[in-house]
Amino acid sequence: MIPVTKPFLPPMEEYTKLLEGVWKRQWLTNMGPLASDLEIRLKEYLNINHLIFVTNGTIALQMAIKALDLTGEIITTPFSFVATTSTIVWEGCTPVFVDIDKDSLCIDPTKIEEAITDKTQAILATHVYGNPCDVDAIDKIAKKYNLKVIYDGAHAFGVKINGKSVFEFGDITTCSLHATKLFHTVEGGFATTNDPELLKKMASIRNFGISGPESFDNLGINGKNSEFHAAMGLVNLRHIDYILERRKDLATYYDKKLINVKAVKPKWNNSATENYPYYVILLESEELLLKIKKGLDDNEIFTRRYFYPSLANTLPYLKTVDLQVTDSIAKRALCLPFYVDLTEEEIDLIARLILRYQNN
């Protein structure tokens, strides 16, 4: 059996060594020393100034919307994990979908302006599969209409745009550190900003809005993470260079073996570095995707239709919208097995089967 993903796990002794300190201190959560250390080390690794470690990527998005005082319409993408949209609704705002670019699969900036109304307050765009949006075009629109910008960078850990961290763009950028991500803390996430006042506000929001033993300065939530999760992050960060290099090698090997498949890969932002969070192919038709997926399933090789279905026409709490590019991409995108422990021999098998089912 070959799963679609496996989490990276460091040597157990490296993790348990940090847990010895947790047992001695008996400080388990509420931003203990390991959680604080992880924030510092992540800022150093990513070369950014302000970062806040939180419970998960969804909470990070909720906190971003709340910190920016958004209450109206937020223009966003329907080609993302459901949390990107559900968080907007959860926070009492209204998502407004615009179509995606057929090559990058990110939000199409040329479609944003026509969706702006007098109720529009922000743009929430996803760096799809870690592939950065056209941040310059989005920034230009945001400044023209005085809009806030949030980037969902759940997949974008380690990516740089023209030498700058992807987390330096927008008012706030969020990231998921879920176990399925290339760098993880089992459960977790973070938010970044260039504005120290926004960081201060998010820190307050993360801890119920508490400002002192008997006082509150904000409406808050419990967004804190534990020492156990921080320990996993600290240990995994020691291995991040190996993780990225191994994933790059596997992606290159896949490229070589799948050269004759009737599919293309998303076009990566040519100003950005790659971090290889997924291996995604866009088949030429949904019929071919279903044929290949079933063949692989029958051989206990598991894939994922990600993101499928399109959020534009499947969420019961929103009106449906017809967005042709998104609908087409969602029906043809397939994530193949991809993780550090995957072997070249397994990729050989996957490629042979894909070609077999494609041609039969």
- Count of other CB atoms within 10 angstroms of residue 111: 16
What pLDDT, on a 0 to 100 scale, did the predictor assign at position 231? 98
- pLDDT at position 190, please? 98
CATH code for the part of the protein at 240-359: 3.90.1150.10
Q: In the structure encoding, which two tokens stand for residue 204, read together?
A: 């307050």
User: Using CB atoms within 10 A of its CB, is residue 163 exposed (0-12), middle (13-18) or buried (19+)?
Assistant: exposed
User: Looking at residue 316, what is its pLDDT?
Assistant: 95
Instruction: Identify the pLDDT of residue 120.
Output: 98
Q: What is the pLDDT of residue 218?
A: 87
DSSP 63-99: HHHHHTT--SEEEE-SSS-HHHHHHHHHTT-EEEE--
List the domain boundaries for the chain.
12-238, 240-359
Q: Can you read off the two tokens belonging to residue 18?
A: 């940090």
Q: How far is CA 85 from the centre of its chain?
A: 13
Closest CA to 65 of 98, 91, 84: 91
Place of tokens 């071919």: 288
12-238 has which CATH code? 3.40.640.10
pLDDT of residue 291: 97
Prior bond of 132 cis (ω within 30°): no
pLDDT, one tens digit for every residue, the chain (360 residues):
999 999 999 999 999 999 999 999 999 999 999 999 999 999 999 999 999 999 999 999 999 999 999 999 999 999 999 999 999 999 999 999 999 999 999 999 999 999 999 999 999 999 999 999 999 999 999 999 999 999 999 999 999 999 999 999 999 999 999 999 999 999 999 999 999 999 999 999 999 999 888 889 889 999 999 999 999 999 999 999 999 999 999 999 999 999 999 999 999 999 999 999 999 999 999 999 999 999 999 999 999 999 999 999 999 999 999 999 999 999 999 999 999 999 999 999 999 999 999 988
Region of 183 (left: φ > 0; alpha: ψ -120 to 50; beta: rest) is: beta
What integer pLDDT is reported at residue 360 of this predicted model? Answer: 82
CB-CB contact of 42 with 53 (8 Å): yes
Q: Which residues contact 239 (CB under 8 A, 6 or more apart)?
A: 8, 10
CA pseudo-torsion sign 337, 163, 34, 66:
negative
38 and 53 Cβ atoms separated by less than 8 Å: yes
Identify the pLDDT of residue 213.
86
Q: What is the pLDDT of residue 31?
A: 94
Strand 189-192 relative to strand 172-176: parallel, antiparallel, unpaired?
A: antiparallel
